[in-house]
Amino acid sequence: MTAAAGTGGVELAGVHARYEDVDVLLGVDLSVAPGELLVVLGPSGAGKSTLLRVIAGLEPAVRGQVRIAGRDVTRLRPGRRDVSMVFQSYALFPHLTVADNIAFGLTVRDTPKGEIGERVRRAAEAVGCAALLGRRPAQLSGGERQRVALARALVREPDVFLLDEPLSNLDAELRVETRAELRALHDRVGATMLHVTHDQTEALVLGDRVAVLREGRVEQLGTPEEIWRTPATVFVARFVGSPSMNLLPADGPLPVPGIAAKPDLLIGVRPEAVRLGDPTQAGPGHADAAATGVVQRVEMVGEDAYVYLRLDGHVIAARVPYASRPDVGAETPLVVRPEDVHLFDAKTERRAATP
Ligand code: ADP
What is the DSSP code string of 268-317? EE-GGG-EES-GGGG-TTHHHH-EEEEEEEEEEETTEEEEEEEETTEEEE
Query: Against a cut of 0.85, is the pTM above it?
Result: yes
Structural domain harbouring 247: 243-345
DSSP 166: T
Ligand 1: does its nearest atom lie under 6 Å from the Cβ of 216?
A: no
Ligand 1: does its nearest atom lie under 6 Å from the Cβ of 44?
A: yes
CA-CA-CA-CA dihedral for 196, 202, 205, 208, to nearest 10: 10
Ligand 1: does its nearest atom lie under 6 Å from the Cβ of 46?
A: yes
228 and 135, same domain (yes or no): yes
Nearest alpha carbon, ligand 1 atom 16? 45
Q: What is the pLDDT of residues 187-199, one digit of tens each?
A: 988 889 999 999 9
Distance CA 106, CA 281 (A): 66
Nearest alpha carbon, ligand 1 atom 12? 24
DSSP 79: G
Q: What is the pLDDT of residue 3?
A: 37
Distance CA 16, CA 242 (A): 32
296 touches 306 (CB < 8 A): no
Ligand 1: does its nearest atom lie under 6 Å from the Cβ of 24?
A: yes
Q: Which atom of ligand 1 is nearest to the CA of 213?
A: 3
Q: Ligand 1 pocket check: which of 16, 18, 19, 44 to mutate, most ligand atoms within 8 Å of Cβ?
A: 19
221 and 167, same domain (yes or no): yes
68 and 183, same domain (yes or no): yes
Distance CA 25, CA 20 (A): 13
Q: Which of 265, 283, 264 is nearest to 336 (CA)?
A: 283
Residue 223, domain CATH: 3.40.50.300
Residue 265, domain CATH: 2.40.50.140
Q: What is the pLDDT of residues 20-68, one digit of tens each?
A: 999 999 999 999 999 999 999 999 999 999 999 999 999 999 999 999 9
Average pLDDT over residues 228-243: 97
Q: Which atom of ligand 1 is nearest to the CA of 50?
A: 6
